[in-house]
Amino acid sequence: MPDLTPLDLAGDVRALTAVLVDVESVSGDEKALADAIEAALRPLPHLTVVRDGEAVVARTELGHSERVVVAGHIDTVPLAGNLPSRVQGDLLYGCGTSDMKSGVAVALKLAAGVPRPGRDVTYVFYDCEEIEAARNGLGRLGRTRPELLAGDFAVLMEPTGGEIEGGCQGTLRAEIVTTGKRSHSARSWFGVNAIHRVEPVLARLSAYEAREPVVDGLAYHEGLNAVGIAGGVAGNVIPDECVVTVNYRFAPDRSLDQARDHVREVFEGYEVRFTDGAPGARPGLTHPVAAAFAKAIGGTPRAKLGWTDVALFSGLGIPAVNYGPGDPNLAHQQGEYVSLEKIVDCERRMLAWLGAPGSDLA
């Protein structure tokens, strides 16, 4: 790959976003972008920079009593003919514009442009968020270098449309199994059709009333849904097993174990096999540092209806929120875009929050 143009962290955040977008960084292939970020941050005298795989961590060491973490993933989903980036009016189109290179651009501008923030800051730019959790760069840091993520509060620059989204929902997947007895389809009365026995499972899902709990002042909306069904042996065989895969999105007032217990209760009488799961994260907006963030950003915080890496921070005992300029509804789309105005506004609000010593927002 040819040498990349150095990142201009002193320039306009909109132009920086476009440059970041044009550096391909599909999950597992982030090295070029990680190299460019490291090269831009390492010369800055107010930052201590650590490279871990394709993750780059930059920290101020000013001795403040509080430390906050600003984090963003640098990988994208696979390209869909949507590079290079292009500008049309107020919109910047391209892979990763919304999710989440516009947020990464804001974080880079803060890292370079606020040498003496009112609180110490750790900036984390990490890899492999868009693929399996085992490869997630933030998770890797949490397991192997947790001291690099230590802080009182964290902001994950996920796309939120410029609004604070607190915490996140948990998620789990489970297989609900119906069983029968195999037989030749020409003599079906000698068997028991497992697929036919699925109807009561689907009826329970259709009748399910999802909770809408309020957690730390934010309203969440749960969901329990079938996302797959599999059964059948051959075109002339009565099947002896059918599996309905369900996905449960649960509010962060339930632990992963409590969520599993709830699914078992809903499908009492059936074999339930859990295939994966991740806990949610409470909003944490009652923490003083989080309250200062909400004051500086403005608007009315809302619940994050989905799972994000704020759950990894929560697992480390760090309250965290999602906040970024991108639109979450556009993430992963071929026509993905971000509003240039929202990028500028996000930078302005984050600057107001970090402030300078003596600022009423610092």
> Which residues are marked as active site?
75, 129
**Cα dihedral sign for 102, 108, 109, 110?**
positive
- CA distances 134 to 25, 140, 168, 218, Å, are 18, 8, 19, 30
Cis peptide before 84 (omega within 30 of 0): yes
Place of tokens 């859990």: 274
- CA distances 72 to 102, 123, 341, Å, are 10, 8, 20
Among candidate residues 293, 350, 353, 299, the one with its CA nearest the CA of residue 324: 350
**Burial of 227 from C-beta contacts in 10 A (0-12 / 13-18 / 19+):** exposed
- Gap between the Cα atoms of 8 and 22, Å rounded: 14
Phi, psi of 105 (to 5 degrees): -60, -45
